Amino acid sequence: MIRFNSVSPFYFLEYKTQNGQWITPPQPPIPSVLNDIWAFKAYGNNKVLLVDGSSNLWHFNGTSWQSLGNWRQGGHTYEIDIDNYGNIWVGGIGGVAKRDVQTGNWQRYRVTNSSQIDYWVRDLSIDNQGNVWMTGNAGPGVGGFQKFDGTRWIGFNNENYGLGYPFPFPTDNTDAIYFRPSNGTVIINPMYGYLHSWNGSNYTSLNYPLDISKGIVEDSQSRLWSLGNYFNLHYYSNNTWTSVPFSGWGANIQKDPTRPGTIWACSGNQVLRTDGSYSFTRYNTSFPELNPQSDLLTTVAPDLNGIAWVGSNKGLFKLNANDGTYQFYSPSNSQIPGDNISPLLVTPDGRLWFSNFQSTTTSTYGLCWFDGTNFGIIQQQQTGGLPHAQIYDLEVKNIQDGYELWISCASRGIAVLTVTGTIIPVELSSFSASVFWNKVTLNWSTVTEINNSGFNIERSIIPNSNAMGDLFWESIGFVKGKGTSTETHSYSFIDNDLDIGKYQYRLKQIDMDGSIKYYYLTETIEIMSPDIFELHQNYPNPFNPTTKIRYSIPASPKSSPKERTLNEVRLKVYDILGNEIATLVDEQKEAGYYEVEFSTGSFGDATQLASGVYFYRLQAGNFIQTKKMLLLR
Residue 198: CATH number of its domain: 2.40.10.500
Count of other CB atoms within 10 angstroms of residue 612? 11
- Looking at the structure, tell me whether residues 42 and 69 fall in a common domain: yes
Contact (CB, 8 A) for 218 and 232: no
Least-confidence region, from 204-208, 306-310, 597-601, 602-606? 602-606
Looking at 509, 527, 545, which one is the last position of a domain? 527
Q: What is the pLDDT of residues 575-594, one digit of tens each?
A: 999 999 999 999 999 888 89
Distances (CA, A) of 366 to 329, 342, 499: 18, 11, 52
Greatest mean pLDDT range, 18-32, 529-543, 598-612:
529-543
DSSP 8-class letter at 278: S
Q: What is the 3-state secondary structure (H, E, C) of 406-437?
A: EEEECCCEEEEEEEECCCCCEEEEEEEEEEEC
Least-confidence region, from 87-96, 224-233, 477-486? 477-486
- Looking at the structure, tell me whether residues 495 and 565 fall in a common domain: no
Percent of the chain with pLDDT over 70: 93
Mean pLDDT, residues 473-485 taken together: 91
- Looking at the structure, tell me whether residues 583 and 626 fall in a common domain: yes
Coil vs helix vs strand at 112: helix
What is the rounded average pLDDT for all residues in the chain?
89
The pTM of the full predicted model, rounded to 2 decimals, is 0.68
Please say if the pLDDT value at position 305 is more than 50: yes
CA angle 592, 596, 598 (to 5 degrees): 160
* Separation of alpha carbons 126 and 135, rounded Å: 12
Would residue 369 be called left, alpha or beta, if left means φ above 0 and alpha means ψ between -120 and 50 degrees? beta
DSSP 8-class letter at 286: G
* Separation of alpha carbons 536 and 520, rounded Å: 33
Contact (CB, 8 A) for 208 and 179: no
pLDDT band at 605 (very low <50, low <70, confident <90, very high): very low
- Looking at the structure, tell me whether residues 482 and 504 fall in a common domain: yes
Contact (CB, 8 A) for 262 and 233: no
Looking at 496, 527, 558, which one is the last position of a domain? 527
CATH number, domain of 517, equals: 2.60.40.10
Least-confidence region, from 221-225, 387-391, 441-445, 460-464? 460-464
Greatest mean pLDDT range, 18-32, 160-174, 534-548:
534-548
Please say if the pLDDT value at position 67 is more than 70: yes
Query: Can you give the pLDDT at residue 606?
Result: 44
Mean pLDDT, residues 214-227 taken together: 94
Residue 487 amino acid letter: E
CATH number, domain of 595, equals: 2.60.40.1930
- Looking at the structure, tell me whether residues 149 and 174 fall in a common domain: yes
pLDDT band at 71 (very low <50, low <70, confident <90, very high): very high
Q: What is the pLDDT of residues 354-385, one digit of tens each?
A: 999 999 999 899 999 999 999 999 999 877 78
- Looking at the structure, tell me whether residues 517 and 503 fall in a common domain: yes
The count of domains in the chain is 4
Q: What's the order of all strands across the beta sheet hosting 233-237?
A: 215-218, 224-227, 233-237, 240-243
Q: Which stretch of DSSP H or E encloses residue 572?
A: strand 566-574
Contact (CB, 8 A) for 226 and 215: yes
Contact (CB, 8 A) for 382 and 363: no
67 within domain boundaries: yes
Mean pLDDT, residues 496-515 taken together: 88
Query: What distance separates the 2 farthest-apart alpha carbons in the chain?
Result: 124
Please say if the pLDDT value at position 253 is more than 50: yes
Q: Which domain holds residue 99?
A: 2-109
Please say if the pLDDT value at position 106 is more than 80: yes
- Give 577's contacts (C-beta < 8 A, 6+ positions apart): none
- Looking at the structure, tell me whether residues 101 and 7 fall in a common domain: yes
pLDDT band at 603 (very low <50, low <70, confident <90, very high): low
- Looking at the structure, tell me whether residues 10 and 103 fall in a common domain: yes
Answer with the residue of higher pLDDT: 245 or 170. 245
Question: Per DSSP, what are the bridge partners of residue 516?
Answer: 510
Please say if the pLDDT value at position 493 is more than 60: yes
Distances (CA, A) of 509 to 452, 455, 458, 516: 7, 5, 11, 5
72 within domain boundaries: yes
Query: Can you give the pLDDT at residue 8?
Result: 60
Please say if the pLDDT value at position 607 is more than 70: no
Please say if the pLDDT value at position 488 is more than 90: no
Query: Can you give the pLDDT at residue 361?
Result: 93
* Separation of alpha carbons 340 and 349, rounded Å: 24
List, in sequence order, the alpha helices (H) in 164-261. Answer: none
CATH number, domain of 35, equals: 2.130.10.10
Residue 506 amino acid letter: R
Please give the backbone phi and psi of residue 400, each rounded to the nearest 5 degrees, phi first: -60, 125
- Looking at the structure, tell me whether residues 16 and 101 fall in a common domain: yes
Query: Can you give the pLDDT at residue 468?
Result: 39
Task: Measure CA 186 to chain center.
Answer: 8
Query: Can you give the pLDDT at residue 3?
Result: 66
Alpha-carbon Rg of the chain, whole angstroms? 34
Closest CA to 287 of 259, 255, 313, 265: 313
Closest CA to 283 of 293, 269, 272, 300: 269
307 within domain boundaries: no
Mean pLDDT, residues 440-463 taken together: 89
- Looking at the structure, tell me whether residues 6 and 101 fall in a common domain: yes
Looking at 153, 177, 209, which one is the last position of a domain? 209
Query: Can you give the pLDDT at residue 260?
Result: 87
- Looking at the structure, tell me whether residues 6 and 104 fall in a common domain: yes
Query: What does the DSSP assignment read for 595-611?
Result: EEEEETTSSGGGGGPPS
406 within domain boundaries: no
Coil vs helix vs strand at 306: coil
Answer with the residue of higher pLDDT: 485 or 28. 28
pLDDT band at 18 (very low <50, low <70, confident <90, very high): confident
Count of other CB atoms within 10 angstroms of residue 105? 10
Please say if the pLDDT value at position 616 is more than 90: yes
Start-to-end CA distance of the chain, whole Å, equals 99
- Looking at the structure, tell me whether residues 104 and 17 fall in a common domain: yes
476 within domain boundaries: yes
7 within domain boundaries: yes
Coil vs helix vs strand at 113: helix
Distances (CA, A) of 35 to 57, 69, 138, 444: 15, 20, 33, 67
Question: Per DSSP, what are the bridge partners of residue 465?
Answer: none
* Separation of alpha carbons 539 and 533, rounded Å: 19
Please say if the pLDDT value at position 163 is more than 50: yes
Query: Can you give the pLDDT at residue 300?
Result: 98
Coil vs helix vs strand at 285: helix
* Separation of alpha carbons 420 and 400, rounded Å: 8
Query: Can you give the pLDDT at residue 345?
Result: 95
SS3 content of the chain, % helix, strand, coil (to 5): 0, 50, 45
36 within domain boundaries: yes
Contact (CB, 8 A) for 435 and 525: yes
Query: Can you give the pLDDT at residue 204?
Result: 97
Query: Can you give the pLDDT at residue 532?
Result: 86
Coil vs helix vs strand at 622: coil
Closest CA to 278 of 459, 461, 469: 469
197 within domain boundaries: yes
Q: What is the pLDDT of residues 349-362, one digit of tens each?
A: 889 999 999 999 99
pLDDT band at 68 (very low <50, low <70, confident <90, very high): very high
Whether the bond between 257 and the residue before it is cis, its omega within 30 degrees of 0, is no
Task: Measure CA 386 to chain center.
Answer: 25
Query: Can you give the pLDDT at residue 138?
Result: 66
* Separation of alpha carbons 108 and 91, rounded Å: 10
